[in-house]
Amino acid sequence: MSEHIASKPGAWDGEPRPLFLAPMAGVSDLPFRLLAKACGADVTITEFTNSTALTREAAVSWRKMESHETEIPFIPQIFGGDPGDMATAAEMLAPTADIIDLNFGCPAPKVTKICAGAALMGEPDNLVSMVDGIIQRVDVPVTAKMRLGTGQGANNALEICKELENIGTARLCVHGRTLRQRYSGEADWLAIKGVVDAVETPVVANGDVVDAASAKDCLEVTGASGLMIGRGAIGRPSVFGEIKVGLGWMEHDDLPWVKANSEDWYEKSPVAQSFAARRWCWDKYIEFSHETAGLQPRWMQRHAVAFTKGLPGAKKIRAVMHGAPTPEDFADGISSFLAGKTAE
């Protein structure tokens, strides 16, 4: 087992298990991954990236593969329908990667139409053969993320996971929905439990974990080796620390946004605490941006919308977003909006 992948644990009895930031397109850029780590995520994974684009040296795609010395382990995730391109891209990434993750879970039509992502679950023999070919060509652990199935006929994640275990896949992550469901309905944690019980390979559960209560329920039901959080972390990377506090894995006063406001945190209203936490997260995102990729307007725009969503006065800040003359002004405008509410 890799130093970055623990062996499968036994039944969950309340002890800490790793929290993963999901590899989300347009969300899991490098500064956000570093922010998630600062907020309590144990493992981060890059945005899923087209393997064919990587083999063609596409600059935009390779930018998604950038990392930082503090991002340990570094896990790039790739997708594709061509086994040769997948293996070649994995070889190109292996010298700097600690682990290479393969995406068989994305339900987006632009991905599935090339028989990649979750569409490959409809071709299980090809999926397993693709993973085997990659494992044979790289000297780092290979992991895989998938769904329960395509939704056409019986689910086959359990059978696929058994095959992937047999060829040496180091860790598995299962989202508790099918391709056909996309993100509708509820995640089927019992189906994930079926996979957990059937293999000795560590299995990470994904789907509908948004807070400490749902994290506790998911671990109790599935017994998974860890939890992956995707949509629940968009605009709220603080969810990782909040889960750890809620499950008794971390002290509330050790949350970095609480420490930063230690003089008056407990005098703040719940709304003011939310503003203060989000301001801390936003300012750290900007700090990490300066340290890595620089201020990227498109990235900042997406995160600013998510960070301010649902807050009182959030609609007014949209004018600041569209009217800021420079990225620096944009960053300062969002920070000022959040700071203006922390004194409530």
Annotated active-site positions, please? 106
Could you tell me which residues are beta bridge partners of residue 33?
none
Residues 337 and 304 sit within 8 Å (Cβ to Cβ): no
In this structure, which amino acid lies at residue 218?
C
Residues 106 and 149 sit within 8 Å (Cβ to Cβ): no
| Residue 147, phi-psi category: left (phi > 0), alpha (psi -120 to 50), beta (remainder) | beta
Closest-CA residue to 227 (of 3, 9, 1): 9
3-state secondary structure of 5: coil
Give the Å distances, CA to CA, from 152 to 76, 123, 180. 30, 12, 8
What is the Cα–Cα distance from 298 to 290, expressed in whole angstroms?
Answer: 15
Residues 30 and 296 sit within 8 Å (Cβ to Cβ): no
245-254: long-range contacts, CB 8 A cutoff, minimum separation 24: 245/212, 246/211, 246/212, 246/213, 246/215, 246/216, 247/14, 247/16, 247/212, 247/215, 247/216, 248/14, 249/16, 250/40
Q: Which residues of 307-338 are buried (b: 16+ CB within 10 A; e: fewer)?
A: bbeebeeeeebeebbeebeebeebbebbeebb
What is the Cα–Cα distance from 310 to 181, expressed in whole angstroms?
Answer: 26
Number of residues that this document lists for the chain:
344
Cis amide linkage into residue 83, ω under 30° from 0: no
